[in-house]
Structure 1
C-alpha cells in the first residue's frame, strides 16, 4: 500500500521586531497607540498546543484593518498548567515582546514606524529579527 506524505510550507514573509520594554503589555500597547495613532486592542490569548497536552498562553494585542495587521505579542507566556517552556520564541528569551507587521499596502513606512516605537520612554531596545534563522518560527504562524 502506498503512503502519501503531506508537506506544508509556510510563508514567513512578514517583518518581526523584538522589543525590550520595562512595562506591562497593556501599558506598552497604550503607548504604541498614542505614539502611532493605532488601535491595538487586547484580544483572547493565543493558545499554542503541543503534543503531550502541553500548551502556551500568549498575551495578544491586535490592530487589524483591510490592508494590514499589527500584532503585539508578549514573549513570556502567562502561567498555566501543562506549560513546558515559558517563551513563544525560546531562543530569544532576552526579549519581552514581538511586533508582527503584516502589511498589504504601501502606506506604512516600516522604518518610520519602528523609529517612533524606539522613542517610547520605556522601550529600551528594538531590533528586526530574521525569521528564517529562528528554530521556533512556526510558533509565529496563527
Structure 2
C-alpha cells in the first residue's frame, strides 16, 4: 500500500456507545489510517478532539495493548491517579489487563490530535471505569453489558 493520503481517508464521527454515552462523544472524530492502509493486525487511528471533547469513556482493555502519541495541540490524560497534560510528542502506553482506566479530554480552545495504535484481537473486552458498562467485541460485533454480565438495554447506568 505505501503512502496513505490523509485527505482521501474518510472522517469517522459518532460512537459505537449506546445512549446516553454516545452523545458524550460530540466533537470527537478520527481517521482510520490503518484500515486505509489495509492493516489487519493492529489499528492506527488519528483522533481529533475539538475544544471540550473527550476521546471516549474512561476505559481499560482486557486483551489489547494501546499506545498514544499527541501530534497536535494539547490533551489532558485522565487516569485513576489524576490528570496529566500532554503536548505534541508526548506518549502514553496502556498494556492489556492494566485496570487503570484512561481517556483524553481537550480542555483548550483549539483542536487537538493524537495517534492511537492498538492491537486487534479476535475477542476483546473493555471495561468503563466510571459507569456500569463493559463492551465485548467479537468478530467485529460489539455487545454492551453491565459489569455483572447482564445485558445493557439502554437504561441510564
Shared fold, TM over 0.5: no
Q: TM-score w.r.t. structure 1 length?
A: 0.33
TM-score, length-scaled by structure 2 = 0.31
Which of 1 and 2 has greater Rg?
1
Q: Which protein is richer in helix relative to its size?
A: 1
